[in-house]
């Protein structure tokens, strides 16, 4: 590594200067710079200071904005081939959409190769949009993607609502390789015994437990009262037994159910969280669990808007995800930020940008590499350019444009070459 004031001229060492540097974890820098060595950041600061510290380093002048790569903390790559699955009407329930998705998937009669090809195209597009890390959830193990341009954390999702199905899935773990990381789906689709089993396996393997939570109101109706659309949904599939309603759920609601099952901790990622009460937010925050919002999917399915302001006030910085193209119009974190800006005008732009970067990195426990521009972080950060960033007058205006103007005209990676 280069020390302060070093004249090391190793070709992998560069000083990148830009009109704006957005570290996320520290204040925005006008006329800032980032020093990179051996594919790691070693210094971030005002250009004039770093130029004095590293006078002999090659200078790369960037015309736009430097900021961390984005983190997509929730995506279903295996659904890429299906395209958007639109609800039949504005009055369609979540169960109607799930039924339509299952029917389309069954009718398509897709091969694993077809699914792999479509998933790979989505990965390339995510990379082009500036994503550097993502969490992929799927019902089958796709081909390893060690050679993809994005680091992908993959979780195999298990569904089994009835007691019989839960026991069958638990028995199947005997044949599951240890290098396959597993998670549950939701309170209405993965029963309590299987959830506890999976969470214990996650703890032993030190892996993330990602879980769809409070995405729609019928989820709570099922667990608390044994009512709502999921009752008929489960009955139609022969999966209805005495699992629901769950006895003893109190004011902590669906989150209290997870707490009673001992599922909430720092490795738990609660996805969607549209219908959390104030008490449920308090419980999630107190457990140190993470939250991932998917505003584009929520809008597409008309399930509501997550209480972002209250979540932030509780001390939780959520992550941001696109969900799958089956429940969205486009898989683009820039668009997700735009939706948050529209739906939560009182939330500052810095917090929204942090969700798409640092929040995701923290939720996936990869903040040592991703999410911010700081010493020892990955040097694969972004250089974005566009007319909307020309002539920006101050930090606030820059941040507002970053989260409200959509995907930039130009997105490139800044990375030292060894």
- Tens digit of each residue's pLDDT (9 = 90 or more) over 285-309: 999 999 999 999 999 999 999 999 9
Distance (Å, whole) CA 117 – CA 81? 8
CATH code, domain carrying 79? 3.20.20.140
Its domain, for residue 169, covers 70-363
Answer whether residue 1 is part of any domain.
no
Q: Are residues 139 and 253 in the same domain?
A: yes
Residue 68, CA distances (Å) to 245, 260, 354, 358 in order: 44, 37, 10, 8
Which residue among 324, 344, 363 closes a domain?
363
Q: Are residues 196 and 237 in the same domain?
A: yes
Residue 334: what pLDDT?
Answer: 98
Answer whether residue 6 is part of any domain.
no
Q: Are residues 47 and 119 in the same domain?
A: no
Which backbone phi and psi does 337 adopt, to 5 degrees? -65, -40
Per-residue pLDDT of the chain (418 residues; tens, 9 = 90+): 333 333 344 457 999 999 999 999 999 999 999 999 988 999 999 999 999 999 999 999 999 999 999 999 999 999 999 999 987 777 788 899 999 999 898 888 888 899 999 999 999 999 999 999 999 999 987 765 556 789 999 999 999 999 999 999 999 999 999 999 999 999 999 999 999 999 999 999 999 999 999 999 999 999 988 999 999 999 998 999 988 888 888 777 899 999 999 999 999 999 999 999 999 999 999 999 999 999 999 999 999 999 999 999 999 999 999 999 999 999 999 999 999 999 999 999 999 999 999 999 999 999 999 999 999 999 999 999 999 999 898 999 999 999 999 999 999 998 743 3
Q: Are residues 354 and 396 in the same domain?
A: no
- The C-alpha R_g of the chain, in whole angstroms, comes to 22
Q: Are residues 137 and 87 in the same domain?
A: yes
Q: Are residues 18 and 122 in the same domain?
A: no
The number of residues in the chain equals 418
Answer whether residue 95 is part of any domain.
yes
Answer whether residue 5 is part of any domain.
no
Answer whether residue 51 is part of any domain.
yes
Q: Are residues 352 and 408 in the same domain?
A: no
Q: pTM of the entire structure? A: 0.95
Answer whether residue 7 is part of any domain.
no
Distance (Å, whole) CA 93 – CA 32? 50
Q: Are residues 339 and 352 in the same domain?
A: yes
Q: Are residues 212 and 258 in the same domain?
A: yes
Q: Return the HEC string of 7-63.
A: CCCCCCCEEEEEEEECCCCCCCEEEEEEEEECCEEEEEEEHHHHHHHCCCCCEEECC
């Amino acid at each position: 590594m280069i020390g302060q004031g070093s004249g090391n001229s190793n070709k992998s060492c560069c000083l990148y200067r830009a009109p704006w540097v957005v570290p996320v974890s520290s204040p925005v820098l006008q006329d800032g710079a980032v020093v990179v060595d051996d594919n790691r950041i070693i210094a971030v600061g005002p250009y004039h200071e770093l130029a004095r510290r590293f006078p002999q380093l090659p200078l790369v002048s960037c015309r736009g904005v430097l900021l961390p790569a984005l983190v997509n903390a929730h995506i279903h790559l295996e659904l890429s081939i299906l395209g958007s699955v639109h609800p039949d009407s504005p009055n369609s329930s979540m169960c109607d959409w799930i039924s339509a998705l299952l029917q389309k998937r069954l009718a398509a009669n897709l091969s694993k190769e077809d699914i792999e090809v479509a998933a790979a195209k989505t990965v390339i597009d995510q990379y082009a949009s500036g994503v550097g890390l993502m969490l992929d959830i799927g019902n089958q193990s796709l081909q390893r993607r060690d050679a993809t341009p994005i680091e992908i954390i993959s979780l195999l999702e298990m569904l089994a609502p009835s007691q019989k199905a839960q026991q069958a899935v638990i028995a199947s773990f005997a044949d599951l390789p240890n290098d396959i990381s597993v998670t549950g789906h939701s309170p209405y689709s993965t029963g309590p015994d299987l959830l506890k089993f999976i969470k214990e396996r996650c703890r032993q393997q030190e892996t993330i437990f990602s879980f769809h939570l409070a995405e729609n109101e019928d989820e709570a109706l099922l667990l608390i009262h044994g009512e709502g659309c999921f009752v008929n949904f489960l009955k139609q599939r022969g999966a209805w037994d005495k699992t629901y309603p769950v006895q003893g759920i109190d004011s902590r609601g669906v989150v209290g159910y997870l707490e009673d099952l001992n599922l909430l901790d720092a490795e738990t990622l609660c996805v969607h969280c549209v219908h959390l009460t104030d008490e449920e937010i308090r419980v999630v925050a107190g457990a140190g669990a993470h939250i991932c919002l998917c505003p584009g999917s929520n809008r597409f399915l008309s399930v509501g808007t997550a209480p972002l302001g209250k979540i932030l006030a509780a001390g939780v910085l959520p992550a941001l995800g696109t969900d799958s193209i089956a429940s969205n119009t486009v898989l683009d974190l820039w668009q997700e930020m735009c939706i948050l800006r529209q739906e939560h005008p009182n939330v500052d732009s810095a917090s929204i940008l942090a969700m798409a970067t640092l929040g995701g990195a923290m939720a996936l426990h990869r903040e040592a590499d991703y999410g911010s521009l700081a010493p020892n972080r990955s040097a694969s950060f972004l250089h974005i350019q566009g007319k909307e960033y020309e002539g920006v007058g101050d930090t606030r205006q820059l941040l507002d444009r970053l989260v409200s103007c959509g995907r930039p005209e130009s997105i490139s990676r800044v990375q030292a070459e060894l």
